Amino acid sequence: MDLKGRAALVTGGASGIGAAAVRRLAKAGAVVAVADRDDAAARALADEVGGLALPGDVSDLDTMTMAVDVAEDSFGRLNVVLLNAGVTAGQSGTENLDLAGYRRIMGVNVDHVVFGLTAAVPALRRAGGGTILATASLAGLVPMPGDALYTLTKHAVVGYVRAAAPELAKEGIRVNAVCPGFADTPLIAPARPQFGDFPLLTAEDVADAVEAVLERGEPGECWFVQPGREPAPYGFRGVPGPKGGAAPPDVSWRDH
């Protein structure tokens, strides 16, 4: 992967998968902006890779817009945006709903991806194209029993990526998702003893997948990442259409 002369922005970039991706992008020659709520950690990693620290809450629209604007202004362009920040729910989501916790996971896992993509698109247009990659999860492809809210948010990211990709691809902007299984990162640290000998991904495994998607991904693909397997696009099964084989209409709700 050769990213010399390219600029990247990584959210949730100060630890775990985000930090591994920041280092991988920088090693490939990109200048990288590290966006994270942990100001000190973001600055430490940005100093390490010669990049830029952007502290703030990614679930806030103004924060995401400013992060994209500052990164583009500082680097002169923006080519790669990795929307990686994520949290878990800490509740079942099926009873005794904690509204604040629900709003938090929706804000970070869903709103941040929407805010980040919509902010990044104009910058990538100005750069002549680029890639937006969202970190979803295997829970975006299959249900995760016991964590309905996390499953909800990651299914939303996968659907959003797949629906946004075709139109943006016409402008040279590729949109993808990476869908890791359980990874040994701070996100699962509280539950780490429960996994026992279950094989876990490392942050580097997911960075490998990020690199693979950037190198050879096709618009709208959502790549699974599992221990011991090569990352690859997930093969979604086609949903049966109307009887008789009629093609679906090309409808834009903006026209209505």
Tokens coding 58: 């990614």
- Amino acid identity of 22? V
CA-derived radius of gyration, the chain: 18
Residues 6+ apart with CB under 8 A from 240: none
Place of tokens 């869903």: 110
| Gap between the Cα atoms of 166 and 98, Å rounded | 36
Query: What is the C-alpha to C-alpha distance for residues 33 and 55, in angstroms, rounded to an integer?
Result: 10
Q: In what order do the strands lie in the sheet with 232-233?
A: 52-55, 31-36, 7-11, 80-83, 130-135, 173-180, 222-225, 232-233
* DSSP line for 1-38: ---TT-EEEEETTTSHHHHHHHHHHHHTT-EEEEEES-
Q: Is 150 a catalytic residue?
A: yes
Alpha helices in 58-202 (DSSP H): 61-75, 99-106, 112-126, 148-169
Q: Active-site residue among 102, 150, 160, 234?
A: 150
Q: Which residues of 180-211 are buried (b: 16+ CB within 10 A; e: fewer)?
A: bbbbbbebeeeeeeeeeeeebbebebbbbbbb
Known catalytic residues are 150
